[in-house]
Amino acid sequence: TSSSSSRRGAFIVFEGLDRCGKSTQVDRLVQRLDRDGHKARLQKFPDRTTAIGKMIDAYLQSKAEMDDHAIHLLFAANRWECAAAIRRDLENGITVIADRYAFSGIAFSAAKGLPFEFCLQPDTALPLPDITLYLTLPPAVASQRSAFGVERYETVAIQTAVREQFGLVANEVKKRHGDGKWVEVSAEGSIEEVEERIWGLLEGMISGGVDGRIGELWV
């Protein structure tokens, strides 16, 4: 296990409730890496550009109704159709930064009452993130920060249920993959303050690359 050979890109996932500032931070991180001449790619989930992604987009905008299980499987299928490209980029030394991943899939569907084990299963063996940063915001701060949009799930009651499920997801990640794979980051403070907090956690992993093979989620 020499560290001199085969360094790959880092697979970094951001998770959190709606309106926690996650997309802003992901954009700033990718911009910073571009500025530094570092090869990085942003991958949003859901990826609304694919055929499956368009069905998901219609569901989120309440232009389409769907069985809870069926939409859950579509979110997972949307990750599977992107999995090979993520794996390829990591192997080519590109840092992949995901705005949401399987953990949102579980938390949002389980919050609707689907069995936790059912929610976990379809993402089994997807590329395992090297680290997931879970951005947290006290509900009082979040509700003052910005009004929810018009998409499905964007209510205080649902977000509260989703937060509870994210707690169970965090336990599952730590149990199966180790404590270091899930890190909570406070999203309180200015955009710049949060950006520096995040950079402090990721700088080493991104600039050094990652040693070893890409893991498989839940395996």
CB of 75 to ligand NYM, least distance (A): 3
Residue range at the interface with Mg ion (CB under 5 A); choices 17-25, 84-92, 135-143, 176-184: 17-25
At residue 21's C-alpha, the angle toward residues 20 and 25, to 5°, is 140
Least spacing, CB of residue 19 vs ligand NYM, in Å:
9
Q: Shortest Cβ distance from residue 35 to ligand NYM (Å)? A: 24
Q: Which of 161, 165, 168, 169 is nearest to 217 (CA)?
A: 169
75 binds, among Mg ion, ligand NYM, none (CB under 5 to 8 A by kind): ligand NYM
Can you give the binding site for ligand NYM, defined by CB under 6 A? 18, 45-46, 60, 75, 100, 104-105, 108, 153
Closest distance of CB 207 from ligand NYM, Å = 27
Using CA atoms, how far apart are residues 96 and 21, in angstroms rounded to an integer? Answer: 19
**What angle in degrees, to the nearest 10, is found between the helix axes of 68-91 and 51-60?**
130
Asked whether 216 and 164 are in contact (CB, 8 A), the reply is no
User: At closest approach, how far in Å is the CB of 151 from Mg ion?
Assistant: 6
Q: CB under 5 to 8 A by kind: which of ligand NYM, Mg ion, none does 46 bind?
A: ligand NYM
Between 68 and 179, whose beta carbon lies closer to ligand NYM? 68
# residues near Mg ion by CB under 5 A: 1
Choosing from 18, 123, 130, 195, the residue that interacts with Mg ion (CB under 5 A) is 18
**Which positions touch Mg ion (CB under 5 A)?**
18
